[in-house]
Amino acid sequence: MGRLSGKVAAVTGGASGIGEATARLFAEEGARVAIADLDADRGRAVAHEISALFVETRTEREAEAMGFIRRARAELGRLDVLVEQRGHAPLSDGGRCQRGELGRDPRRQPQGLCLLREGGHPGDAADRGGSIVNVASVRSVVVGATPPQYDTTKAAVAGLTRALAVDHAGEGIRVNAVCPGPIFTRFHERRATTAGKQFEEFKAEFGRNTMLKRPGTPREVAACILFLASDEASYVTGTCLFVDGGQTAM
């Protein structure tokens, strides 16, 4: 018996990175999984490998966010867990914040969270409850070099997590977040190539500011998401779990 046996989980951003690792781990732990992502080809491939439902979705768009949740419920019968993981859109000028971007970009992820919640939050009944896990970042509490709108967005996700926990406590629905530090993904493999650096050199540099002196993996974050989503975390809500190799404690 897996830790999510008999449960249905919806994972946004499930075609790559932390979202993909989470979808795969959830499937291993017995959940039936629905994946939302913009990358249709990769999303379908991942869904095929783990026997999941894939829906091409822009979660910041109301109709698409609602449609994803409704389709997951219709095809899988219910919804017990919602994991919101979305990447950050590239900036228009090589990483610099352009006029207007700071006001526009921070709204995208929190808006998507609210739309998904309103579209059909976990738990068909209060006595069954459910779990929402948002993916924020260490940048919700510490400031990075660039870009400022990323920090703003992730701080909003952390704050919204606490607000939603209050909103849904009476329904037995738990709402938590993970705050990853430097996590090495395929995106960073491509960055190493672009920078003309050796893979291991780039990887070591990426994690040098942590206590453990290495970057984390998507699977390590997914394991923490699994804990928060599972009944093992039945008395945990409104919290942000830092998965950062000790970076924010230094």
- Alpha carbon dihedral 205, 210, 214, 215, in 10-degree steps, equals -90
| Strand, helix or coil for residue 156 | helix
Nearest alpha-carbon partner for 150 in 117, 218, 114, 104: 104
Residue 87 has pLDDT above 60, yes or no: no
Q: Tens digits of per-residue pLDDT, 220-249?
A: 999 999 999 999 999 999 999 999 999 999
* Residue recorded with tokens 């008395």: 235
Q: What percent of the chain has pLDDT over 90?
A: 57
> For position 128, what pLDDT does the model report?
59
**Residue 191 φ/ψ, nearest 5 degrees:** -65, -35
pLDDT for position 209: 93
Query: Are 16 and 42 spatial neighbours (Cβ–Cβ below 8 Å)?
Result: yes
Give pLDDT tens digits for 9-30.
999 999 999 999 999 999 999 9
Taking each helix axis from N to C end, the angle separating 108-120 and 62-76, rounded to the nearest 10 degrees, works out to 40
Structural domain boundaries in the chain: 8-181+217-245, 185-215
* pLDDT tens for each residue of 121-154: 676 533 457 999 999 999 999 887 667 888 888 8
Pick from 73-77, 168-172, 218-222, 230-234: least confident? 168-172
**235 given a catalytic annotation:** no
For the segment 57-71, the average pLDDT, to the nearest whole number, is 88
User: Is 125:109 a contact under the CB 8 Å cutoff?
Assistant: no
> What is the mean pLDDT of the segment spanning 145-171?
86
Pick the CATH number of 8-181+217-245 from 1.10.3720.10, 3.40.50.1580, 3.40.50.720, 1.10.1760.20: 3.40.50.720
What H or E segment, with its residue span, contains residue 134?
Answer: strand 130-135
Q: Which two tokens stand for residue 68?
A: 């994803």
Q: Are strands 173-180 and 130-135 parallel, antiparallel or unpaired?
A: parallel
Q: Are 223 and 232 in contact (CB under 8 A)?
A: no
Catalytic residue among 150, 202, 206, 242: 150
